[in-house]
Amino acid sequence: MSDKYKVIVVGMGKRGMHHARAFHDNGRFELAGVCDVDPARLDAAAGFRTAKSRNALELALAVKPDVFCFCTLPHIRTEMIRTAIKAGARLIAFEKPVALTSREGMEIRKLLNESGTKAVVSHQHRYGKHYRRVKEIVASGALGHIHTIYATASGWMFHMMSHLIDYMRWYNGNTEAQWVMAQATGDGKLSDSHPSPDYIGGFIQFENGVRGIIECGAGAPDVPEVDYWWRKCRILVQGSDGFAEVLTGGGWRAVTMTGAFAGPGCMSYDLDMPPYVQDIARWLDDDRNVHPCNFESAYAGFEIMMAFCRSAVEGGQVLLPLAQAADELAMLRAYLAGRTAQLATAAHLKEYVRVEEKMVGVRS
């Protein structure tokens, strides 16, 4: 009998292939099956000599995996969680975002808690050496008393904000948030597979007094140090004695009382996935080795994102943790209809429609 953890990967698109490769290449795991509803995607995964299926439940019940990994688009999270639990998986590894509404996020959390299933959410950028360097600098005390963390991304909310909040929370010692206040505009990306406002921004009050500031999407500033558009993300930690920042596609830098420092680093699936997957084995080996990307941590970040949406629609400060479930997506669809976002930079033209173009489109 194999002493490896059996894994199946469902959804063999871009991220499914990354996960399958990382599990396959790690000696602690046996890639026991892959699944996609699209036969072309299964063909593309032919290189993995493992069971192939177009039905996740059938595959999971046949394989009885230790780890049920799914990398589907965000609209079928609950269905996949139920499938994994039904098959008796010990750990579920899935992609951000946690869910599209707090109603679904709360349901997923309930299912995981009731079944006692471990879960991790793929906020794997934190394994980048530049991300870790900033964490080390913050933890060393070289920035003095931390008071502000600012995070920005060009990509839209359900793609990028999940990441930004996760790393902001990490740099802030996973301190709980007390409230948020936010604004949002632009209905262009509501029809995307990651349906989001074109632009959302706001503030977070953390329990330790640190101010979080986040902006995501069309109105977010360019990060000119980074060429690749999706990696135009900046997370800046400011303290009484200095600052440190990471750029997802452009290394890190810091200014402290002892000088100015900088170093390289770029988000890389090839580099970030192996340690992410290794930490899954460590957590399965020993309950004390809780994965840094554990569900509870991701859920705390997810609640902040949902609170941003509620504040943007309803106004005012939204208290955390959220007491009631809601359908934030429906709220956003109603609120954002007909609203347009101004672009912060021409760099965003490739992904967002400029206001004037949209008006021309409406007229023609």
- Note the residues at the interface with ligand NAD (CB under 6 A): 10-16, 35-38, 41, 56, 71-74, 76, 95-96, 122, 124, 159, 194
* Closest CB to ligand NAD among residues 74, 239: 74
The minimum distance between CB 309 and ligand NAD, in angstroms, equals 17
Tokens of 148: 């502000």
Q: With 0-12 CB in 10 A as exposed, 13-18 as middle and 19+ as buried, what is 162?
A: buried
The minimum distance between CB 151 and ligand NAD, in angstroms, equals 15
Place of tokens 């679904």: 104
* Closest CB to ligand NAD among residues 149, 298: 298
The minimum distance between CB 41 and ligand NAD, in angstroms, equals 4
Tokens of 213: 């500031």
* Closest CB to ligand NAD among residues 102, 122: 122
- DSSP-assigned states of every residue in 90-152: SEEEEPSPS-SSHHHHHHHHHHHHHHT-EEEE--GGGGSHHHHHHHHHHHHTTT-SEEEEEEE
The minimum distance between CB 134 and ligand NAD, in angstroms, equals 18
* Closest CB to ligand NAD among residues 119, 210: 119
The minimum distance between CB 63 and ligand NAD, in angstroms, equals 14
Closest CA to 300 of 148, 165, 163, 122: 165
The minimum distance between CB 37 and ligand NAD, in angstroms, equals 4
* Closest CB to ligand NAD among residues 166, 320: 166
Decide: helix, strand or coil at residue 255: strand
The minimum distance between CB 363 and ligand NAD, in angstroms, equals 33
- 77-86 vs 102-115: helix crossing angle, rounded to 10: 10
* Closest CB to ligand NAD among residues 50, 340: 50
Q: How many angstroms separate the CA atoms of 49 and 320, rounded?
A: 46
> Which residue sits closest to ligand NAD, CB atoms considered?
13
275 preceded by a cis bond (ω within 30 of 0): no
Q: How many CB atoms lie within 10 A of CB 1?
A: 3
Contact 306, 154 (CB under 8 A): no
* Closest CB to ligand NAD among residues 72, 297: 72
Q: How many angstroms separate the CA atoms of 198 and 306, rounded?
A: 15
The minimum distance between CB 348 and ligand NAD, in angstroms, equals 19
* Closest CB to ligand NAD among residues 246, 254: 246
